[in-house]
Amino acid sequence: MTINYSDQEVIKNQKSIFLAGPTPRGENVISWRTKACNIIEQLGFDGIVYVPEYSTWKPKADYVDQAQWERDALSNASVIAFWIPRTLPDMPAFTTNVEFGYWLHTGKVLYGRPDDAKKIKYLDWLYKTDTNKTPYSSLEELLYGSIKLANQLGVNDETEILTLEKRLIMSKSNHNK
């Protein structure tokens, strides 16, 4: 397993998992991604793990560089594992909400959250409705599923970022089925 942090160049064209979800806003909050990386290593994953945090685990300094790194890594990821342990005010996950909706229909998203996560009912509903899957309630199970899917999908060609004109918009008739 190789960890690719957001203060490093994005490693491309390899089997990979992006750890999507809230990032701590202060140095006094420990990132959930440290535990996730330990679990992935214990499970024997042999690909790239994209961690959208600095290798020092310090808060981000440059928003534009960070956003571009994330877009590149998300586009190249074989699997996007959304873990949303939302707490307020420490990890609100506002950006995560947008990313979740943006990437949900790529076929490479798995989603989970602890049972005590705040304000996740809509994300649960959207995931169930649009993928016909139940959200994971255990980080370990989410990561196991992510490794399994990454091994099935293999190396991902860069996912096309569609313009709004090309995005599929569900018609009302699809919702009534």
The set of residues, in sequence order, having a beta carbon less than 8 Å from that of 88 and lying 6+ positions away, is 118, 119
Task: Give the residue-averaged pLDDT of 48-77.
Answer: 85
Band the pLDDT of 57: cuts 50, 70, 90: low
The per-residue pLDDT of the chain, averaged, comes to: 87
Distance CA(107)–CA(159), nearest Å, equals 10
Band the pLDDT of 174: cuts 50, 70, 90: very low
DSSP symbol at 136? B
Tens-digit pLDDT profile for residues 89-104: 878 888 999 999 999 9
Query: DSSP string of 72-93?
Result: HHHHH-SEEEEE---BTTTB--
Other CB atoms within a 10 A radius of the CB of residue 72 amount to 16
Tens-digit pLDDT profile for residues 7-46: 999 999 999 999 999 988 777 778 999 999 999 999 999 9
User: What integer pLDDT is reported at residue 22 of this predicted model?
Assistant: 93
The token pair at 53 is 């945090």
Band the pLDDT of 170: cuts 50, 70, 90: very low
Q: Where are the alpha helices (DSSP H) in the chain?
A: 32-42, 63-76, 94-103, 121-131, 139-153, 172-175
- pLDDT of 162 > 60? The answer is no
> CATH code at 102?
3.40.50.450
Tally of structural domains, the chain = 1
Question: Does residue 89 have a cis bond before it (omega within 30 degrees)?
Answer: yes
Q: Which domain holds residue 78?
A: 2-175
